[in-house]
Chains A and B, each alone.
Chain A
Amino acid sequence: MLRMLRGFEYLRGDSPIHRLDPRVKIVYSMTFAALCFISLKNTFLITLLILNILVLIIAKVIKRWLMMLRGSLIFLVMIFTLNLLFQGLANVWLALAYTLRFLVFMTAFSMLFLTTTPEDLSLVMVKLGIPYEYTLAFTMAIRFVPTLSRELQIIIDAQRSRGLELEKGNFFERIRKYMPILIPLIVHEIRRSYLLAEAMESRGFGYTRNRTYYYEMRIRKNDVLALLGIISLTVVMAFLGKKVMWPF
C-alpha cells in the first residue's frame, strides 16, 4: 500500500519532462486519463500504457513506477477478480480491460506527481483562482505523506517491540490491535499541526492577501511543442479508439 503511494510522490530529477510547465503535464494526465474511457479493448489500452511508459522512461522515473506497480498488484488482482465474478467467467477480456484501464489511469497521474513538485502544482491551483490557504493545505498533505509513512513505521515498530502481534487474531481482533498504532499517530500529527501553524504564523503567514511568488510560470517553446504533441496524439488516439476495430 505504502509502495503504491510512492508512485505519486515527487522524485527530484532532471529530464525534459521535469522541465515542462506543470500545466502542460496536467493536460497530458487529464487527456490520457480521459482516453482510457474511449474504448474497452485491451490492445487499445495496452497501446496507451506503452505510450505512457515511454514518457516515464524519458522522465527517468520508470523504476519508481515499477515499485508502484508492485505495490498496486493486489488492487489490480482484486479489480480483475471482482470483475470476473460479476461479469461472468466468459468475459475475461473485459475484466482484463477494466484492470488495464485502472492501471493506465494511475500511470497517467503518476507521471504528473512523480515529475512535478507539490509547489508547482499549488502554483497552478493559485493561477486557477483557488485561495492560497487551500492550495497550501494540498501541498502540505502531499509533503507530509513520506513523513507520515515513516512515523507510522516507527509506531508499528515501537508497539511490536512491546509484544503487539498485528498478524494474529480474527478480523475484529486485528482491527482492535490497530488502536495502539492509530492513537499515537493521530495525537502526534495534531500536535505537529499546531506547532507548524505557530511556526508559520511567526514567519508572517497570512500577513497580506497579496502574496508574491518566487517562481513565475512561463510557457516556453518546449512547452508549446509538447502541448501540440499531446493534442495531436490525443486526436489520433481518440480517432483510432473509436474508428478502428481493435482485437480483444
Chain B
Amino acid sequence: MPRRLAIEVKNLWFKYPESEEWVLKDINLEIEEGEIVAIMGENGAGKTTLIKHFNGLLKPVKGYVKVFGLDTREHTVAELARRVGLVFQNPDHQIFASTVLEETMFALKNFGWDLKKAEERAVKILKELGLYKYIHTSPFMLSGGEKKRLTIASVLVYDPDILVLDEPTVGQDYGQKRRFAEIIYRINREGKTVIVVTHDVEFVADYIDHVIVMAKGKIVAEGNSTEVLCNDEVMKEARLLMPQLGLAALMLRKHVEFRGNFLRLPIFIKEVRRWLNDA
C-alpha cells in the first residue's frame, strides 16, 4: 500500500513583500509519511524559508503547500503546528519560561491541554530526552546542547506527525550529534516524518538516506544521499563540501581502478580491503 504524502509542495514561488527577489523559485517536493529527509544547501539557499511554509508561518505567493492534504493557505499556524513541529535553530529565540518543565508545557497550554495531563506528558518527554533531572532548573542555566534538546522536547511534547529540525547540529560536539541522531531515529520508529535542515554533510552522510539539495532558491538535486553527496557538480553548485569518504573515493577513482561512492564507512572499508586483496 502506498504511503500517505506528509508534505506536498507544488510549483512554490515565494518572495518577501518588501523585496523584488524571489527567495524560492518553483519548488516541487513530495515527502512521504515516515521518511527521514535532509534538506541541504549553503546559507541563503532558501532552506529555512522553505520549512517555514510547512507550518504556514509563510504562505506561498504562487503554488501551494499541503500537509497531509491540508492546504497551508487555508489553515492558521496554530492549526498546522499541531501536525508539524518546527524546532528553530537558536534555542535562545524561544526559551522564556522560569523552569524546564514550564518551557516544555508551553505548547500544551496553548493547545488547551488539561494541566495535569500536560505535566505528565512533559515529564515523560523530558525523561526520554535525558532532561528530567533539570525539571525545576531555569532553562537559561542549561548548556548549549541541553538547551537544544529542550527545544526539541518542547515541540515533541505535543506529538506532531512531522518534526522539522532547523540546523540541529550547528555548534554541537560529536556526542551531541550522535544523540540527535538517536532522537531522530527513535521518533522515526514511532512512525513520524522527520525533516532535518542542515549543511552538515558528514551528519547527513552518517545518518540520513534521503537528501534534497537546494541552491539559490531552487532544488538542484534529490535522491539517495550516497549518490547526491558524491556528485561533484551538485556539491559545487550547492557550495557544499563533499563528505571525507566521498572525497577519498573520488581520489582513489582518479588514481586507481576503484569504482563507486562509499559514504558508509563499513562499505568503504570492505571495498578498500577487497581492492587491496585483488591488487
Known: A158-B88, A162-B155, A165-B76. A184 touches B94 (CB 8 A): yes
Mask of B95-121 contacts with A, CB within 8 angstroms, 1/0: 111000000001100110000000000
In the complex the two chains form, what is the Cα distance from A188 to B94 in whole Å?
A: 10
In the complex the two chains form, what is the Cα distance from A158 to B57 in whole Å?
A: 9
Contact A159 B18 (CB under 8 A): no
Contact A162 B94 (CB under 8 A): yes
Q: A160 near B: Cβ within 8 Å? A: yes
Mask of B77-93 contacts with A, CB within 8 angstroms, 1/0: 11001100110101011
Inter-chain contacts of B96 with A (CB < 8 A): 179-181, 183-184, 187
Number of interface residues of A (CB under 8 A): 23
Among residues of A, the one whose C-beta sits closest to the C-beta of B106 is A162
Q: A78 near B: Cβ within 8 Å? A: no
Among residues of A, the one whose C-beta sits closest to the C-beta of B140 is A187
Contact B81 A188 (CB under 8 A): no
Among residues of B, the one whose C-beta sits closest to the C-beta of A182 is B96
Contact A184 B18 (CB under 8 A): no
Q: B261 near A: Cβ within 8 Å? A: no
Known: A162-B94, A162-B106, A188-B93. A157 touches B88 (CB 8 A): yes
Q: A53 near B: Cβ within 8 Å? A: no
Which of A6, A155, A163, A187 touches B81 (beta carbons < 8 Å)?
Answer: A163
Inter-chain contacts of A184 with B (CB < 8 A): 92-96
Contact B93 A162 (CB under 8 A): no
Nearest CB of A to B217, in Å: 19
Among residues of A, the one whose C-beta sits closest to the C-beta of B154 is A162
Nearest CB of B to A108, in Å: 23
In the complex the two chains form, what is the Cα distance from A109 to B242 in whole Å?
A: 51
In the complex the two chains form, what is the Cα distance from A154 to B52 in whole Å?
A: 11
User: For chain B residues 253-276, which have a beta carbon within 8 Å of chain A?
Assistant: none
Determine which residue in A3, A155, A158 has the highest number of CB atoms from chain B within 10 A of its CB, and name it: A158
